[in-house]
Structure 1
Amino acid sequence: MRGRRAPSIIDVAREAGVSAQTVSRVANGMDIVRPATRDKVLAAMGRLGYRPNSAARALKTGRFRTIGVVMSGLSSFGNMRTLEAIANESAKSGYSLALSPLWTIARAGFSGAFVRIAEQAVDGVLVVLEAHEIRASDLVPLAGIPTVVVTAGDAHPFPTIDIDQAQGARLATEHLLELGHRTVWHIRGPEDSFSGHDRAESWAATLRAHGRVVPPLLHGDWSPASGHAAGRRLADDPAVTAVFAANDEMALGAIRALHDAGRDVPGSVSVVGFDDMEISAQFQPPLTTIHQPFDRVGTTAVGMLVDQIEGRDSRTPGPVTTTLVVRASTAPPCPPSGQSRAGSMPGFECGSD
């Protein structure tokens, strides 16, 4: 007995009472179909057991409707938020994702990720980089494939979108100086991090621009544990009144170390983070931080890539700006002994827990 013929797009159109073009639009994930009509088409597909033939569609259109993503630091807060935005925007544009995470920043692993992506027949690639160890020459295997890079570095020929790391660090540092602190200590990110480097450079430049002493850097690795280790060192120095940590997790560790050492935040030391994680408002005290619009970066990156894939003009935007979010972890420095600080709570002893 001959096998049952697989349902076609015409069968689905007849079952749903719509045109074949409408079924095609729904199958391709296009968002120009009314929700009620889309639901009707999807229900018809389900009843008939229809599955879109992506291979046939690729032969007909020359596109696979798939975006490749090569990403380092998959577990980091910023990259996960960016990836979420990329996935949402890709789906809205009718594209699926093929993810090739980099478990190592070694150049061999980076080149291997490109090979894996090329094997998956993608229409374009988004590269989300974090480390300085990646060279421009490592991107050569992607020549001829539409590519957009999400990174703080620019030593490559591809369109780039990123958050203005220097602007964010300047906002954090100037906020503490404007409160009256004489200088600001900094817990920076890893040595090989684009963003960690740019934030540290901007912090130092901002202090110099205001004629302030630039204290020695303390090095972290983005983790709360590294922030705690740095905070323990800072807690022993009574001259430390203001700290800018290069991310919220290190700020959290530093705050705990300061509290453990009897240094009140913000009574004795003010602390600013960077990222604006959802839980930052729930720290004790709630954390003053720099908000990074990861969703905007991911959405913009997909738009830039889809424009390239579909032959539209694509303009590279400038860096995405950050916003200072002021909460309770920062305050003016303590006045000389015996004086009260303006705006302090009744019964509050400046500089103690």
Structure 2
Amino acid sequence: MGLKHIAKAAGVSVSTVSRALAGSSRISEEKRREILEIARMQGYLDTRVRRATEAGLHSIVLAMSEEMMQASETNFTSWRILESLREECANRGIRVDPVLCPGERLDPDQVIAGIEASDAEAVIVHFDENPALIRRLAKVGRPVALLIGLDPTSRVSSVGIGNTYATMLGTQHLIDLGHRDILLLSWTGRFTIRRREAGFREAMRDRGIEDAERFILRLSGFAPDIVDREFGAWLAGQGGRLPVTAIQCLSDNMALRAMKCLQDAGFSVPGDVSVVGFDDSFAGQIAHPTLTSIRPPLEEIAITALDELELHLRRPQSYLARRIELGCQITVRDSCKAR
């Protein structure tokens, strides 16, 4: 549908339609609303937006660690995001130039060298928020977006989830079920993990607990063997009696291993202790009991990042780096019950 069809339906001239779409003050607000509604109903506005985004982005550099490419239960979140990125790039005809760094962390020198060797218009950095790397990314002269990472200085854009509110959702769910003694199972990690911890402290503060830090158990990592060893040691040190009635975990794999440790120690989930995870993984959906978990919109993260890079390309002079956080939900299953 074009301007002529909209003009005919609205009973006005093509020039009037053009002025309405451009926001001109030379027509009445009532007529403008009528024209915009007709344009929306005929699909013209969607087509206009799509055409506006088709012109910019044809290729990206994707920087990520080789560790994130390994198939493992700890890479569930990463794989879902990468698969949606692969699919969306294919749909949009965007070429992907990968830069893979050995190990778990990105090497700033290797990433910058990979960017300089590519003619791609923009850069996506997956699962890394190294300040030294971010400082250099801010100077590459191309649009940059971090996936599931945060730049506290807002020098480059980032797309992730609302980590603080997401953890508040889980903790508040446990509070609503009547739990008062709640453990947060966390790990020493990235800025995003510290944001999740902030959500726990905020929820606990809302129920009158100012020193929520004493309810946080930080492990050295979130891998299954670390959870078995370190959470298992904490559990063994409780003398057969749990000081909490609920545990909020900051990843599903932590929650699943914690549940196994609890069950091996003779505790019932959710009979003795309720457990909430974070990721809403398939493993949690088929666990026994099935795991209540925070569900992040992982499939939307890569799509939103590509849209953000498009916006940057269309506004090269006026664009400012943005931090985009997508909302999360909680999926209630069998691992929690009321006190």
TM-score (norm 2): 0.72
Is contact 2:154-2:323 (8 Å) kept? no
Tell me by how many angstroms 1:168 deviates.
0.8
What is the one-letter code of the residue matched to 1:184?
I
Is contact 2:151-2:157 (8 Å) kept? no
Is contact 1:164-1:322 (8 Å) kept? yes
**For residues 305-320 of structure 1, what are the structure 2 equivalents within 5 Å?**
305-309=309-313, 316=322, 318-320=324-326
Residue aligning to 2:328: 322
Alignment of 1:68 with 2:73, yes or no, is no
For the residue of structure 2 that corresponds to 1:145, the secondary structure is coil
Q: Cα–Cα, structure 1 residues 286 and 78, in superposed 2: closer, same or farther, change >3 Å? A: same
Residue aligning to 1:185: 183
Greater displacement, 281-290 / 191-200: 191-200
Residue aligning to 2:38: none
Q: 1:291 aligns with which of 278, 282, 295?
A: 295
What is the one-letter code of the residue matched to 1:329?
S
Residue aligning to 1:79: 78
Q: In the comparison of the two structures, how many residue pairs are matched?
A: 270
Tell me by how many angstroms 1:218 deviates.
2.9
What is the one-letter code of the residue matched to 1:204?
R
- Separation in 1 of the partners of 2:92 and 2:314? 11
TM-score (norm 1): 0.69
- Separation in 2 of the partners of 1:64 and 1:255? 45
For the residue of structure 1 that corresponds to 2:326, the secondary structure is coil
- Separation in 1 of the partners of 2:158 and 2:242? 43
Structure number with greater CO (CA < 8 Å, separation at least 6) is 2
Deviations 1:13-53 (A, max 9, x none): xxxxxxxxxxxxxxxxxxx9xxxxxxxxxxxxxxxxxxxxx
Q: Cα–Cα, structure 1 residues 103 and 186, in superposed 2: closer, same or farther, change >3 Å? A: farther
Q: Cα–Cα, structure 1 residues 153 and 270, in superposed 2: closer, same or farther, change >3 Å? A: farther
Is contact 1:231-1:255 (8 Å) kept? no
More helix by share: 2
- Separation in 2 of the partners of 1:92 and 1:226? 39
Tell me by how many angstroms 1:311 deviates.
5.7
Deviations 1:162-204 (A, max 9, x none): 1001111101111111111112111113x23122221122212
Is contact 1:222-1:249 (8 Å) kept? yes
Alignment of 1:224 with 2:224, yes or no, is yes
Tell me by how many angstroms 1:85 deviates.
1.4
Is contact 2:270-2:336 (8 Å) kept? yes
More strand by share: 2
Residue aligning to 1:88: 87
Deviations 1:184-235 (A, max 9, x none): 111113x231222211222122212211362242314222222333442236
**Cα-Cα RMSD:** 2.7
Q: Percent identity?
A: 25
